[in-house]
Amino acid sequence: MTSPLLDPEAEITALGESNDEVNNIGPSERKNNENSSGLEATERRSGRKRKTNNADPDPKPKKQPKKEKGGEEDLNMTWICAECREAECLMRPEADELLVCEGSCVRVFHYPCAGLLKMPAKDETYVCRDCTEKRHACSICKEYGVDDDDVYKCSKPKCGLFFHESCLSMHNVDVSYIPVASAFASASPISTLEAPSDRSKPIFTCPAHNCWTCTQLELKKEEEDEAKEAALQKGGKTKGKKKSKALPGFFCSKKESTLVRCLECPISYHISCIPLSAKFHELATLCHEHSAHAKLPELDLENSFQQQVESKADKYLAQSNAITASRKLRSKNNNNPCFPFSGEDLSKDEEKISHILTPETDISGVDAACLFSTFCLPCTMRDEVHSKPPQYKHVQSLQYDPRNKPPRIADSGGQCDCSDSCGERCYNRLVFTECFGDSNKNSKSNCPVGANCGNRSISQRKFVKCKPQREQGKGWGLVTLEKIRQGQLVIEYVGEVISKTMKEKRLQEWAMEHPNDPNFYIMALSPGWFIDARETANLSRFINHSCDPNCIIHPINVGGQMRNAIVALREIARGEFLSYDYHFDTQQGDRFVCRCGAKHCRGTMKQTGGKGGNGKEVLKSASDIWEDAKIQFEKDKKFLEDFAFEEETRRFAVREVVPGSEGKDELIANGPQPRNRNSVIRNGIFLWRNAVQGSRFDQRIARLSLK
Ligand SMILES: C[S@@+](CC[C@H](N)C(=O)[O-])C[C@H]1O[C@@H](n2cnc3c(N)ncnc32)[C@H](O)[C@@H]1O
């Protein structure tokens, strides 16, 4: 393989994301539901209209609901329809009654949005289609999956959110596993962050139950503590590990238990921790990541709670006090303007300051101190708090454009003849093809063993558990959460499959729009086809380059389509950063400085050598790759003749080990021929891969000499 990651000169344009999942708690929901028990979440609500939220112009502060045994928070309901994402039904304005799904998702719907002609009777049970079909959208990537197979429900009883395991790893969620057989019988985890057995179910509390801002601060504190500890130990002083203390209330002026959740994702905040970059009104919240693109539900401002609070603030506040206090606060927070209510026009700061509540004032149940003092993060903290892996759409497999996809690859010839498991000597494995189909003679299959054979890791997504983490000088990287064996499949590189023309278009457009972006995600898949993992990907997009990598890209034929497997080159310890050699195929000069820190670092992520001479890189055309393959073929043959075998076995070796040496063009062009099948199996080789990977015989001497 010459160029895993290609043409990093530029990249792609933004793609739309689907917006089909809703479940949100807005500040007024918190207020209006404060005295409702969490159990209400499973009761059907009818006749609840948004306007009724505002019916009481001066609602008194209500007592927080009692916490249930076991510290269960009351995750308050939202009254935004999960389908149309509005409080008031846009399909039929008269039908803005909401009903609650009594299945596991506990979402609310307008009845027309739920596909019903009328509101169900009080004694009728409503279960939404997703819960009936036991498939839900992941609350992070929005992709649908089968319950307890692809997506898993948060373990909090009243939380109806589902997640892919891999999506959770982006949110610092601790996952434990219980064996599937006992998954429903016991809630006690057997291990934390350990490789689960094949049949285990993840148990976790999703990010919706923790304030995102406070969590980031805790993590930062922990990191600092660890760094201090490490420094102390380096200096020879040993100290017992000091448990870092969280920072409850650092930004919250009180210990709040209620969280408001983003309409688009599970990110939640204490009201007093909502950062400047988020948006909210009394019906819903959009987190810092979604505020720029998503839309808050319609709010009838005139009748809104927000409007009432603002007018009360006008009435009650001594404006001069507010201005002085706010100025003080601003100068303390590096002139970070404070966020009064809408967060829209910060340039009109002075005007807004006149509406800010003083810390002492408590109006209409809103904790004024909380609003006043803590709606913004100091500038110094903002970068840290927002340092989370960039968002992308998580997918589990390659995404093809149905109108323009790579042609299928012809079969490499018949079935393997393995009898129990397809191990090292499996013919399909040797020709870089995964087994498919089962032993049932009626179905198409290339393997008599069936679904349990050992050569189906990619199609069965037997990926290693990993998580994104900052890697010094390289942005985000990917660390493994489990020990990896040499030769083990780590993960598949997935994204959108695009043609060469599309790749070039995207590269150009991205370069124009983001001239300073150093990150590139396009990888070669097969001649003329590429994988773009910038916006649609899995965790593999975070793997960085190293000149001394611990992984390699293996193109593998899975059911007639090429897929790029990332395979371990050596044993990799838990916690190690994963890497492979990008061999960037680029005409640009010194732009791609490598910071891998390896002993023999090339200093660049580009491929070296090539046909350009004088170290100048050129893009390899298909015919160049072809020529290289033929040259390599001759070298292999010569190597076998000269060194690898004793005199008397040479002729045999060349004939057998280099199958098709009489018709090498055909062999290189078409891959393994059925007539070469036996020698491929006997010698464990497949020369066609030289065309893609440049693997060399002299480096396989140990293996050959074993024969
Ligand atoms: C596929 S992305 C890897 C994930 C990326 N680090 C991120 O933060 O999203 C490739 C980009 O990571 C950076 N990178 C990867 N390996 C690097 C290295 N060894 N030295 C410097 N930058 C590296 C480069 O900006 C490169 O274009």
Q: Which CATH code for domain 1-17+391-620? A: 2.170.270.10
Mutation pick for ligand 1 pocket among 545, 548, 550, 583 (CB with most ligand atoms within 8 Å):
545
Q: How many whole angstroms from 590 Cα to the centroid of ligand 1?
A: 15
> pLDDT for 611-643, tens place per residue?
333 333 344 555 666 676 677 677 766 766 665
pLDDT digits over 408-451, tens only?
876 656 788 888 888 877 888 877 889 988 766 667 888 888 88
Q: How many helices (H) and strands (E) does the chain have?
A: 18, 27
Q: What is the pLDDT of residues 62-97, one digit of tens each?
A: 333 333 333 333 334 457 888 888 887 766 666 667
Cα gap 423→412, rounded to integer Å: 18
The per-residue DSSP string of 187-209 comes to ---SEESSPPPTTEEEE---GGG
Q: Lowest-pLDDT range, 146-160, 301-315, 463-477?
A: 301-315
Domain boundaries, the chain: 1-17+391-620, 27-209, 624-705
Q: Ligand 1, from 479, 519, 588, 593: best to mutate by most atoms within 8 Å of Cβ?
A: 519
CA nearest 657: which of 679, 641, 681? 679
Residue nearest to atom 12 of ligand 1 (CA): 519
Is residue 497 a contact partner of residue 529, using CB atoms and an 8 Å limit? yes
Nearest alpha carbon, ligand 1 atom 4: 542
How far is 410 from 670, CA to CA, in rounded Å? 9
Its pTM stands at: 0.50
Is 191 a residue whose pLDDT tops 60?
no
Query: How many angstroms separate the Cα of 410 from the Cα of each of 406, 670, 671?
Result: 12, 9, 10
Per-residue b or e along 545-583, where b marks 16 or more CB atoms closer than 10 Å to that residue's CB: bbbebbbbbbbbbbbebbbbbbbbbeebebeebbbbbbb
Looking at every residue in the chain, the average pLDDT score rounds to 67
Can you give the pLDDT at residue 96?
66
Tell which wins on pLDDT, 157 or 669.
157
Query: What is the predicted ipTM?
Result: 0.99
Give the pLDDT confidence score for residue 620 in this predicted structure: 54
Tokens of 566: 């990332």
Instruction: Give residue ranges with CB within 6 A of ligand 1.
Output: 8, 473-476, 518-521, 541-542, 544-546, 594-596, 605
Ligand 1 centroid to 605 CA: how many Å? 9
Determine the pLDDT at residue 690: 43
Atom of ligand 1 nearest to the CA of 584: 27
